[in-house]
């Protein structure tokens, strides 16, 4: 079973964890690590390292906000060369919910779940309505 560490700029990760808990409830293996103004990679890595020490035998998946941002850079530098850790960017609530629901999978599979959930969660209202309307029109023609 994997531990999921969510991080991002400001209090983004704390808000995301709060929203997650409204839907999913509390999960001791889902952690939020904020990146605060005035902090740099060393301070954030120390926060990450504190969590890694709590779960020495677990696989760790970092879900961060922006590729190339400080939360990503701090995590990727910290875990470089470790097979039991990975980082996925673009975290959002659907990604976190789906990933948490399947955190018993192997890390390599869990990263695929996170990526797919993140990619498929973006929807445009007008496009979705168009699909429904188009399908309804086709059904009427039958």
Q: Which residues, at least 6 apart from 11, have a Cβ–Cβ distance to it below 8 Å?
A: 34
Three-state secondary structure call for residue 121: coil
**Read out DSSP for 20-67?**
HHHHH---TTEEEEEE-TT--HHHHHHHHHHHHHH-TTSEEEEEESST
Catalytic (active site) residue 9: yes
Q: Which residues, at least 6 apart from 130, have a Cβ–Cβ distance to it below 8 Å?
A: none
- Cβ-count burial of 58 within 10 angstroms (0-12 exposed, 13-18 middle, 19+ buried)? middle
Question: Given 4, 9, 70, 102, which residue is catalytic?
Answer: 9
Catalytic residues: 9
């Amino acid at each position: 079973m994997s531990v999921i560490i969510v991080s991002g700029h400001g209090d983004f990760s704390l808000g995301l964890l709060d929203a997650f808990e409204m839907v999913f409830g509390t999960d001791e293996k889902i952690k939020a690590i904020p990146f605060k103004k005035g902090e740099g990679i060393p301070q954030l890595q120390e926060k990450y390292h504190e969590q890694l020490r709590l779960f020495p035998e677990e696989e760790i998946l970092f879900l961060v906000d922006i590729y190339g941002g400080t939360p990503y850079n701090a995590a990727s530098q910290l875990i470089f060369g470790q097979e039991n850790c990975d980082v996925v960017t673009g975290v959002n609530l659907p990604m976190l919910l789906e990933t948490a629901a399947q955190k018993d999978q192997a890390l390599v599979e869990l990263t695929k779940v996170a990526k797919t959930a993140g990619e498929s969660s973006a929807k445009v209202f007008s496009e979705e309505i168009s699909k429904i309307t188009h399908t309804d029109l086709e059904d009427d023609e039958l």
